[in-house]
Amino acid sequence: MFRTCVLICLLNGVALSTKKEEKLSIVSHGYAISQAHMLPLLSLREEATRNLRNYATVLTKRLTQVKLAIKQLEALVKSKPSSNTLLTFKQTRIFYIDWRKWLSFVKEKHGYEEISKLQSLRHIMPTKIDYDEALYGIYRLQSTYRLDPAEMSVGLLRGRKYRCKKFHAVDCLMIGSVYYLNEDFQDAERWFQLALEKYHSDPNSKQFDIFGWSDDFILKLLMKAAQSSGRFKAALEYAEQALVIDRSHSFWQQQVPRLKNLSLTPEHPKREKISKYLFKPACRMEFPAKKYLRCHLLFSSPFLQLAPIKVEELNLDPPINIYHNLIHNEEIFWIKTLSNPHLKRSTIFSSSKQPIEDFSNIRTSKTMHLNDDAHKLIKNLNQRVMDATGLSVMESEDLQISNYGIGGHFSEHQDSVPPTDGKFRISGNRIITALYYLSDVELGGETVFPFLDLRVPAQKGSLVVWYNLFLNGTSDWRVVHISCPILMGDKWIATKWLREYPQMFIRPCPLKMEPLPEYSGNTF
């Protein structure tokens, strides 16, 4: 009861499941899933500040009028009752003329214009889904990298200090609630404790009491979290703390004896919930030094004899190579410029091949595709993939551009698909993934291959290439990979998937003259 009621009120609709009528395309701007599309938020900040300032001016004028009226009346109250005609006249004037004018002034709709302007900004304001995605981004970062809530709340990430606005008590409250709803009560309690500390140390905290975010409320959540994780004595302590604040509070008067009774029973602290994301720890693991590392220059084609490519072999079997300085800053600039206006939320598909419409914990990014005719540089990029791999880009998929936002990531997945997938019948499976890094990432955002103990940090300008298939054509499970959540920075990548059959002299199935099916997004 408490959980559903209080938390729903608290989160003011943090969506854990999306209702049918709230299709993503309508209710989300995707602010949190792509750094590239944050611009409207910046202009919103300025516009909203200006409006609110105007509104304050209107209200101040009004308040001045009210204070004047009070002064006038107080002067009347002070004057001695007498049959002085002058005073009678003055009083009559005040209550007949001034008072009526004053009443009509008070009844006027002050500041409505400013409020409606503020309302009109709502179409660019973040929606519930935008907020959920930002919140889950933080949740993902903290749970993946096991960041200390207190450090995180002041911008200290993995030992490095970042300039940012410190979290407020309410921020900690919200993050704690995500843990609570995910039944990770111990982490929830840590965040709620932090919320309480920040509430007590922040002189402006009381302003949030009008929303119901008071210390009393935080203690309620703390008590529930402690009780839910089986720590009854701690729960009792929170209730007793609340009674100190407000002795006559009937809710707490009932809780204390109940918890006293409960804390007589032996405690069975519940174990922490195990994440359903199998490879999450892989992102925070420091892998041992690479088992195999070799660099050489690639001269294989006539062109490369003039401009050999620097290659680093990251893994031998299956082969994973990184080719350095393969895309130049100017080209990167153009790709971002061309793709930015068309970036759309990345689609992923469930095992039943249905696109997952809900805001996704599996992949958070925006993507778009640039076909070979979009710009002449695309053909150059294709040529470099061919030079690097020695394979054909015929019938390959259009270059996919992706941009990630707060905590942006892609859970463990394989790029190849099961043989039954009809879309891959004509050109075969994705034999090669060739991924250009269009940016560095300050912290996080590595590509990690957990079965190979391999971590590849984003390196602007480089191309990483791996094989997705065994020699017999079946999917190679060893190249399962993750894009780790981004702690700091902006991640841009461009991916090319080469197909299997164009690489063969004899195609395994007869070519049908069907148009190539449209392919959108990756397959999970």
Ligand X SMILES: *[C@@H]1O[C@H](CO)[C@@H](O)[C@H](O)[C@H]1NC(C)=O
Task: Tell whether residue 474 is a contact of ligand X (CB under 6 A).
Answer: yes
Give bridge partners of residue 434 from the DSSP assignment.
Answer: 465, 496
Task: Tell whether residue 420 is a contact of ligand X (CB under 6 A).
Answer: no
Q: Quick check: 466 and 496 in contact, CB under 8 A? A: no
Task: Tell whether residue 477 is a contact of ligand X (CB under 6 A).
Answer: no
Strands 366-370 and 344-345: antiparallel
State the binding string over 44-63 for ligand X (x if CB under 6 A, else -). Answer: --------------------
Binding segment toward ligand X, per CB under 6 A, in 175-183, 309-317, 393-401, 467-475: 467-475
Please name which of 427, 342, 428, 327 lies closest in space to residue 378, comparing C-alpha atoms. 327
Which member of 62, 128, 258, 425 binds ligand X (CB under 6 A)? 258
Nearer to ligand X, 58 or 256 (CB): 256
Smallest distance from ligand X to CB 498, Å? 19
**What kind and span of H or E run contains 105?**
helix 99-107
Task: For the chain, give percent helix, strand, coil, nearest 5.
Answer: 45, 15, 40
Which member of 13, 212, 257, 419 binds ligand X (CB under 6 A)? 257
Strands 443-444 and 156-157: unpaired
Nearer to ligand X, 60 or 261 (CB): 261
Residue in this structure with the two tokens 């509104």, named with its chain if needed: 55
Residue in this structure with the two tokens 């202009």, named with its chain if needed: 43
Residues 91-130 that bind ligand X (CB under 6 A): none
Please name which of 489, 375, 493, 374 lies closest in space to residue 433, comparing C-alpha atoms. 493
Smallest distance from ligand X to CB 470, Å? 4
Please name which of 179, 171, 132, 133 lies closest in space to residue 155, comparing C-alpha atoms. 171
Task: Tell whether residue 201 is a contact of ligand X (CB under 6 A).
Answer: no
Nearer to ligand X, 317 or 358 (CB): 317
Indicate the SS3 state at residue 474. Answer: coil
Nearer to ligand X, 130 or 415 (CB): 415
Task: Tell whether residue 470 is a contact of ligand X (CB under 6 A).
Answer: yes
- What type of residue sits at position 511? L
Nearer to ligand X, 260 or 344 (CB): 260
Smallest distance from ligand X to CB 477, Å? 9
Binding segment toward ligand X, per CB under 6 A, in 126-134, 383-391, 419-427, 466-474: 466-474
Please name which of 147, 151, 168 lies closest in space to residue 218, comparing C-alpha atoms. 168
Binding segment toward ligand X, per CB under 6 A, in 123-131, 172-180, 447-455, 468-476: 468-476
Considering CB under 6 A, how many residues would be counted as binding ligand X?
Answer: 6
Please name which of 254, 174, 267 lies closest in space to residue 226, comparing C-alpha atoms. 267
Nearer to ligand X, 257 or 517 (CB): 257
Task: Tell whether residue 472 is a contact of ligand X (CB under 6 A).
Answer: yes
Q: Rounded to 5 degrees, what are φ and ψ at 499?
A: -100, 160
Binding site for ligand X (CB under 6 A): 257-258, 261, 470, 472, 474
